[in-house]
Amino acid sequence: MPRIARLVVKEEKAVYHVMSRTTLDGYVLKDVEKDFLVQHIRKLAKVYFSEVLGFCIMGNHFHLLVRMEPGRDKPLSEIRKRFEIYYGKDDKRELTEKLIPALREKWGSLSEFMKEIKQGFSRFYNRRHHRKGFFWSERFKSVIVDNGETLINCLAYIDLNPIRAGIVKKPEEYRWCSLGYHVQTKNFGRFLSTDFGLREFSLKGEKVRLAHYRRFVYEKGGIGGEHKTEGKYKELSQVDRFRYRTRYFTDSGIIGTKEFVSKVYQGCKGHFSSKHEKRPKPIQGLSGIYSLKRLSETI
């Protein structure tokens, strides 16, 4: 059965929640591997026309929330700068006129970005562990994510991964997630965007946005064992905790407002074999957020 082409927004900026899992058994991503993967993504993010909003690297998979921008109209000066970062100042390669259009297209591509992340890490892992063969499962998952409320909910979902896994009690204690990276490294190298989906909410200043986002994650995750409901505090139930593992952030195809999902679907509908028009599905527990697909929340 042929694969369905990946859903992408063409010739416009778009945010994607991307996930990739190792094909190996067990939790093979240890501290050294996680550190390398963060550094590797950080370097490639300076080359590709990308804005990394969040990430989380776990023992057998990783999440990335990234805004990709097409490179069609990027000036030559920008291509030269990224060419030097990619190959290094001492490399003798020349940026020829023939190469420029290909680099504009490549560095604006989500698929190329992920390909380089995964291939570069695989080479590192195989050298380190004296092995050959595949490290990652062949295809990565991706979901097109709306801005605003959808984005901040998706980012919180990503940062709560180590909480759900029982690794730490607070996400900032885990240095391989975006909130941990912000707090522990002070966002070293300006790697991560400080957007948090909050610019639309008129929250100004990076420290204010980070503090607001941190409170948001605590409330979503029920960190501390309590959350506020109707002016009173009550114990967060296991049912509530489970709800935050919703598959909609990983398998929905497109997620956002009803208008956003409809608009993006119209641009991608040629990817689907079904003759019936797909309609946005409201997501229970996430007010005002819709999905392209209706999914079970039992996984």
State the first-to-last Cα distance of the chain, in angstroms, to the nearest integer. Answer: 25
Q: Which position has the higher pLDDT, 252 or 202?
A: 252
Is the residue at 96 inside a domain? no
For 16, list phi and psi in degrees, rounded to 5: -125, 135
Q: Which has the closest alpha carbon to 7: 53, 91, 16?
A: 16
Is the residue at 93 inside a domain? no
pLDDT, tens digit (0-9, with 9 covering 90-100), for 72-100: 999 999 999 999 999 988 888 999 999 99
pLDDT, tens digit (0-9, with 9 covering 90-100), for 243-297: 445 678 888 889 999 999 999 998 887 777 666 788 899 987 788 999 988 765 5
Q: Does the pLDDT at position 129 exceed 80?
A: yes
Confidence at residue 269, expressed as pLDDT on a 0 to 100 scale: 77
Give the start-end residues of each E strand in 6-109.
Answer: 14-21, 50-57, 61-68
* CATH code, domain with 241: 3.30.70.1290
Q: Which domain holds residue 206?
A: 14-70+108-291
Q: DSSP code of 106?
A: H
Could you give the number of structural domains in the chain? 1
Q: Does the pLDDT at position 66 exceed 60?
A: yes
Is the residue at 122 inside a domain? yes
Across 120-143, average pLDDT: 94
Q: Which has the closest alpha carbon to 165: 264, 244, 58?
A: 58
Is the residue at 251 inside a domain? yes
Interacting residues of 210 by C-beta distance below 8 A, sequence separation 6+? 182, 194, 196
Structure tokens at 230: 């109707």
Q: Residue 94's CB: how many other CB atoms inside 10 A?
A: 8
Instruction: Please say whether the dihedral angle defined by the alpha carbons of residues 91, 97, 98 and 102, taken in this order, is positive or negative.
Output: positive
Q: How confident is the model at residue 23 (pLDDT cuts 50, 70, 90)?
A: very high
Is the residue at 194 inside a domain? yes
CB 197 within 8 A of CB 158: no
Is the residue at 4 inside a domain? no
Burial class (CB in 10 A: 0-12, 13-18, 19+), 37: buried
**Whole-angstrom distance, CA of residue 9 vs CA of residue 143:** 11
Q: Which has the closest alpha carbon to 297: 249, 237, 253?
A: 249
Percent of the chain with pLDDT over 70: 86
Is the residue at 8 inside a domain? no
Is the residue at 90 inside a domain? no
Query: Vertex 66, ends 61 and 71: CA angle to 5°?
Result: 130
CB 143 within 8 A of CB 255: yes
Confidence at residue 246, expressed as pLDDT on a 0 to 100 scale: 62
**Whole-angstrom distance, CA of residue 230 vs CA of residue 226:** 13
Q: Does the pLDDT at position 28 exceed 90?
A: yes
**Whole-angstrom distance, CA of residue 37 vs CA of residue 142:** 19
Query: Vertex 174, ends 171 and 176: CA angle to 5°?
Result: 115
